[in-house]
Chains A and B, each alone.
Chain A
Amino acid sequence: ETGVTQTPRHLVMGMTNKKSLKCEQHLGHNAMYWYKQSAKKPLELMFVYSLEERVENNSVPSRFSPECPNSSHLFLHLHTLQPEDSALYLCASSPRAGNAGELFFGEGSRLTVL
């Protein structure tokens, strides 16, 4: 495996379900990110982790709960979501979070909330 891998690629869930998105990076990077991408809208930064410590929470509702057990893995736990949360959720990594730079993205998890 190389680069940034996201699973599952597609997820359909009801508003009362609990599910998780998983991201794994094989690049030896120290920073990992969750972004939300909705149709015709700019990517929205959700969370930033640097060396497993959350360094940014961009006013994301508590129904989204991130977890970073180590510098290679990142999870996004989902519960009691709303239909407007349907979107493509992208994980990214970079060598470090201290400055803006090239981001390496996974292929995304397409989430549909019924």
Chain B
Amino acid sequence: EDQVTQSPEALRLQEGESSSLNCSYTVSGLRGLFWYRQDPGKGPEFLFTLYSAGEEKEKERLKATLTKKESFLHITAPKPEDSATYLCAVGRGTGGFKTIFGAGTRLFVKA
């Protein structure tokens, strides 16, 4: 069964304290792994797409990596404005179009 699991459910960091969010997945015919950021009361905002194991993408303090079973979103020296829910999703390439989302990790960064 296709599945996306994100951990931890919530993460509290001090400003400047680097950490990583995990997204493990099981999917038939991976057609991309996606990271989104969602602020309270807003829709998700696209961050990255990763297509193959070993691929990495960076944007400001965020870096996403991909293996055959999981993806990590590394946050380096986070700031309070990085506080949000981070969603992971995978695209399935068989059985018709479908993007499967994880439940998200809520990140809180304290000044």
Contact = CB atoms under 8 A, between A and B. Distances in A.
A56 B96 CA distance: 9
A107 B41 contact: yes
A97 B98 CA distance: 9
A103 B46 contact: yes
A32 interface: no
A10 B42 CA distance: 12
Nearest to A33: B99
Interface string A36-70: 00001111010010000001100000000000000
Interface string B33-56: 010100001111110010000000
Contacts of A106: 43
A105 B47 CA distance: 12
Contacts of A102: 34, 46, 49
B43 A100 contact: no
Interface stretch (B59-67, B73-81, B86-94): B86-94
Contacts, number: 66
Interface residues of A, number: 25
A42 B99 contact: no
Contacts of B46: 102-104
Q: How large is the interface on B (under 10, 10 to 19, 20 to 34, 35 or more residues)?
A: 20 to 34
A48 B93 CA distance: 16
Contacts of A100: 31-32, 34, 90-93, 97-99
Contacts of B108: none
Contacts of B45: 105
A76 interface: no
Interface in B1-28: 4, 9
B107 interface: no
A4 interface: yes
B103 A99 contact: no
B101 interface: yes
Interface of B: 4, 9, 31-32, 34, 36, 41-46, 49, 87, 89-93, 96-104
Given A55-B96, A103-B46, 4 more contacts: A41-B103, A56-B98, A102-B49, A103-B44
